[in-house]
Amino acid sequence: MVEGDLTNRAAIFQALKGRGIGAVMHFAAHIVVAESMAAPGKYFYNNVAGSINLLDAIVDAHIPYFVFSSTSEVYGEAQSLPLAEDHPKQPTNAYGQSKWMVEQMLQRYSAAYDLRSIALRYFNAAGAAEDGSIGEDHQPESHLIPAALLAALGQSTFALTCSPVDTPDGTTVRDYVHVEDLASAHALSLDALAHGHPTDAFNVGLGVGYSTKQVIEAVQRITAVAFKVAEGAPREGEPAARWASNEKIQRELGWTAAHDLTSIVSSAWRWHKSHPDGFASHA
């Protein structure tokens, strides 16, 4: 375990050099859409410049494989649904733009240095480990499902922050993926790279769109708590509707989702009930 900062170039080179590392998976990023609109420089410095430092260190250490945490935010407003990997990339916020910039860099690093990589475009990672060991604990909490669960626990009020959009119920529509299904996508990506798969990108989502109101209703049904939904300040930069085509990752990597929305919310609810103060509950 080496604790460091991707913007410290020398430290990253030192951490990777001479350790016999066979692959790198890159998860570190700022990820809050609204914040990225207010502070784009923070996102480009950390997410883009930090990734350049990491990629250069990987090349220097002769590490052959790389798996990158990307996002469905690279697509922007959907021109067609479901979103396939070849959909135009027109991110509407600095977070999505920073991830798309790194994806473009990966193509160049692959051509110049033979660093083969797979970028996984997450569609709203959610849920908790089935064994109850790991869950979401953000400070402050900005993700829909854990925010609704905290409201069900009576720990906070729930505010609807999506802008009015042209969808059936007027709230944003998103796809979700359980964290354990996401983990399996990373393992399959490493296996594929080790067996010669070229640099590529894959969507990771259920392939189904759920509106914000539908997710709130699912949380209320599973928790049996009819918490109040207040009107919050709309967040800028969020597209109206987005869900994945997951045919490519099924076909090329053999990935399938083992969890649906009910399973995602249920696993998260079990974790939040047993960790009412987050990870501090068992500190």
State yes or no: pLDDT of 210 exceeds 70. Answer: yes
Q: What pLDDT sits at residue 139?
A: 86
pLDDT tens per residue across span 130-169: 988 899 998 888 899 999 999 999 999 999 887 788 899 9
Q: Considering the domain boundaries, does residue 1 fall inside one?
A: no
pTM of the model: 0.94
State yes or no: pLDDT of 22 exceeds 60. Answer: yes
Q: Considering the domain boundaries, does residue 54 fall inside one?
A: yes
Span 213-220, mean pLDDT?
97
Domain residues for the domain of 210 are 9-282
Determine how many CB atoms are found less than 10 A away from the CB of residue 153: 15
For 215, half-sphere exposure in the C-beta direction (CA atoms, 13 angstrom radius) is: 29
pLDDT tens per residue across span 47-94: 999 999 999 999 999 999 999 999 999 999 999 999 999 999 999 999
Q: Considering the domain boundaries, does residue 2 fall inside one?
A: no
For 231, the 3-state DSSP assignment is: strand
Active site residues: 95
Which amino acid is present at 103? E
Q: Considering the domain boundaries, does residue 62 fall inside one?
A: yes
Q: What pLDDT sits at residue 283?
A: 56
Peptide bond before residue 140 is cis, with ω within 30 degrees of 0: yes
Assign residue 113 the CATH number of its domain: 3.40.50.720
What is the average pLDDT value for the chain, to the nearest integer?
95
Determine how many CB atoms are found less than 10 A away from the CB of residue 259: 21
Q: What pLDDT sits at residue 282?
A: 66
State yes or no: pLDDT of 12 exceeds 60. Answer: yes
Q: What pLDDT sits at residue 239?
A: 86
Determine how many CB atoms are found less than 10 A away from the CB of residue 216: 21
**DSSP-assigned states of every residue in 182-212:** HHHHHHHHHHHHHTTPPSEEEEES-S--EEH
76 strand-pairing partners? 90
Determine how many CB atoms are found less than 10 A away from the CB of residue 196: 7
Q: Considering the domain boundaries, does residue 216 fall inside one?
A: yes
Q: Considering the domain boundaries, does residue 4 fall inside one?
A: no
Please give the span between the terminal C-alpha atoms of the chain, in angstroms, as a whole number.
Answer: 20
Split at pLDDT 50, 70, 90, the class of 233 is: confident
Q: How many domains does the chain have?
A: 1
Q: What pLDDT sits at residue 121?
A: 98
